[in-house]
Amino acid sequence: MQSHLPEGARTRTKAIHAGEEPDPTTRASAPNIVMSTTFSVDEPRGFSALDQEADSGFFYTRWGNPTVRQLEMKLAALEGAEDCRAYASGMAAISALMLNRLSAGDRLVMSDVAYPGTTELAYHTLPRLGIEVTPVDMSDLGQVEAALQRPAKLVWVESPANPIMRLTDIAAVAELAHGAGAEIAVDSTFATPVATRPLELGADYVVHSLTKYIGGHGDALGGAVLSDRARLEQLQLEATVHFGGVISPFNAWLIMRGAATLPVRMAAHEAGALAVAEALEEHPKVRRVLYPGLASHPQHDLARRQMANFSGMIAFQVDDGPAVAERMMKQLQVIHYAVSLGHHRSLIYWLGTNDLIASSFHLEGEAEERYRSYAGDGVFRLSVGLEDPEDIIEDLDRVL
Ligand SMILES: *Cc1c(COP(=O)(O)O)cnc(C)c1O
């Protein structure tokens, strides 16, 4: 199971080989899928997960599975992490980490703009458990510093943040968090380890929705938490074994196959997105384009420092977005009008500001003004796929 890559193997090589090796019995080159839920025992072993040693082999798939383990090792190699735990979805990973780290009386300082599932979990569920949540604009270090004047257990960053592509200076926020005695977790789904490796910038945890770029083909849900071994051991018993949101070995196998091509796909996503973003910026019907790779992005300098790849996500504003959205639903021929992102197929969706603020973000006053300064009355979130960029641009031209 241990991979034997040469020391110093590079990203594309690691994406393909890390976590895998030819099957020792059959010499099969591609990984097997081990769907077994249980594993036969050949010496006395206790029944409770509390009785298990970390290295005592596979026992029951909710605790660990050979195929899932292969995926975890590949992801750890890509992220430069000591270890990884995979979950059934991005939200399963996020809720596992938050509920494992936070207890009644603790405080979470989190980005006020993030994936709606994350903000809804934080605002609707955590307070019920006695956990205080303080939303801040993570792109404003003054706000982060002010929020950390009072004790906090965990700081939650998402960069680039859904859906407005607002970035967080991860190294700077990690320093502030650690100075205040808090841990910092970064949802790096939009960036992927090809663009940014938050652990190297000082983060304690990285989370991914594997459903997006890492799986890359829109056919398997998954999530992951990456960190050092000691932190992930804290997660293992409670968040993996007892919360139980583990990934199916079949999904792990599909995502592992996707992850093998992540670096080459990200290069193509970035090239395609840059071409589409530039075309949109020139388009008379487009009011504003937000893409970290464009000089017009308000944090383009930070993007250049922190992102080795600008990824494939674009947000843009037009006049009368809802009417354009209706045309898109009926007339797009290449891009699918659908939620989600990071797939080989291009996807687009309208995210109206009033709806999102009411349902998920609950922004008021200055925070709402800041959000509107990026999003206006709403944005189209476009996940640029791997089709020829000219065909994506022509498809958009048809409906704008
Ligand atoms: C999609 C997404 C999630 C949730 O992942 P699922 O796999 O859908 O549960 C979390 N964070 C970000 C940034 C996402 O894009």
Compute, in degrees rounded to 10, the torsion defined by CA atoms 316, 319, 321, 323: -150
Question: Residues 143-177: pLDDT tens digits?
Answer: 999 999 999 999 999 999 999 999 999 999 999 99
- Is residue 280 located within the same domain as residue 251? no
pLDDT of residue 46: 83
Contact 216, 261 (CB under 8 A): yes
Q: Tens digit of pLDDT for each residue in 172-206?
A: 999 999 999 999 999 999 999 999 999 999 999 99
Ligand 1: residue whose CA is nearest its atom 5? 90
pLDDT in tens, 110-126: 999 999 999 999 999 99
Tokens matching residue 209: 């929705």
Q: Note whether residue 204 is domain-resident.
A: yes
pTM attached to this predicted model:
0.97
DSSP, collapsed to helix, strand or coil, labels residue 83 as strand
Which residue in the block uniquely carries the two structure tokens 């940014």?
196
Ligand 1 mean position to 184 CA, how many Å? 18
> Do both 110 and 152 map to the same domain?
yes
255, 267: one domain:
no
Check whether residue 305 and residue 235 sit in a common domain.
no
Query: For residue 189, how far is its CA from the centre of ligand 1 (angstroms)?
Result: 7
**Which of 234, 268, 244, 276 lies closest to 343 in space, CA to CA?**
268
In a domain, 212, yes or no: yes
Å from CA of 98 to ligand 1 middle:
15
- List 223's β-bridge partners, or say none: 87, 209
Q: Is residue 5 part of a domain?
A: no
Same domain flag for 190 and 224: yes
pLDDT of 321 reads 97
Domain count along the chain: 2
Judge if the beta carbon of residue 192 lies within 6 A of ligand 1. no
Rounded distance between C-alpha atoms, residue 12 and residue 212, angstroms? 18
Mean pLDDT, rounded, for 276-287 = 98
Based on the fold, state whether residues 192 and 144 are members of the same structural domain: yes
Q: Is residue 270 domain-resident?
A: yes
Q: Is the CB of 299 under 6 A from ligand 1?
A: no
Q: Are 148 and 171 in contact (CB under 8 A)?
A: no
User: Up-side HSE of residue 25: CA atoms within 13 Å toward CB?
Assistant: 2
| Residues 46 and 60 occupy one common structural domain | yes
Of the three residues 259, 283, 299, the one that is the final residue of a domain is 259
| Mean pLDDT of the region 128-153 | 98
In a domain, 368, yes or no: yes
**C-alpha distances in Å from residue 311, one per residue of 182, 298, 339:** 29, 16, 17
| Token couple for 331 | 């007339």
Indicate if the pLDDT at residue 2 is higher than 60. no
Question: Of the candidates 259, 279, 310, which is a domain's last residue?
Answer: 259
Q: What's the pLDDT at 140?
A: 97
Residue 217 lies in a domain: yes
Say yes or no: 54 and 106 in one domain: yes
The token pair that represents 40 in the structure block: 């036969």
Q: Above 70 in pLDDT, residue 3?
A: no
Q: What is the pLDDT of residues 31-75, one digit of tens each?
A: 999 999 999 998 888 888 777 776 778 999 999 999 999 999 999
Alpha helices in 240-320 (DSSP H): 249-260, 262-282, 300-306
Mean pLDDT of 204-219: 98
Confidence of residue 87 (pLDDT cuts 50, 70, 90): very high
With a 6 Å cutoff on the Cβ, whether 318 touches ligand 1 is no
Residue 150: domain span: 11-259
Q: Residue with the nearest Cα to atom 11 of ligand 1?
A: 115
Mean pLDDT for the chain? 96
In a domain, 318, yes or no: yes
My answer on whether 77 and 28 are in the same domain is yes
For the domain that residue 33 is a member of, what is the CATH number?
Answer: 3.40.640.10
Nearest C-alpha neighbor of 269 from the set 251, 288, 293, 286 = 293
Residues 286 and 218 in one domain: no
Distances (CA, A) of 97 to 142, 150, 328, 333: 26, 22, 37, 40
Examine the domain organization and report whether 48 and 97 are in the same domain.
yes
Cβ of 189 closer than 6 Å to ligand 1, yes or no, is: yes
CATH number at residue 268: 3.90.1150.10
Given a cut of 50, is residue 1 above it in pLDDT?
Answer: no
Q: 149 lies in a domain?
A: yes
Instruction: State whether 72 and 202 are in the same domain.
Output: yes
Q: Which two tokens stand for residue 135?
A: 């939303």
Out of 259, 274, 301, pick the residue that ends a domain: 259
Q: Give the highest mean pLDDT range of 3-12, 357-366, 384-393.
A: 384-393
- CA-wise closest residue to 77 among 159, 197, 213, 189: 197
**Residue with the nearest Cα to atom 8 of ligand 1?**
90
Q: Ligand 1: distance of its center to the CA of 246 in Å?
A: 16
The pLDDT value recorded for residue 54 is: 65
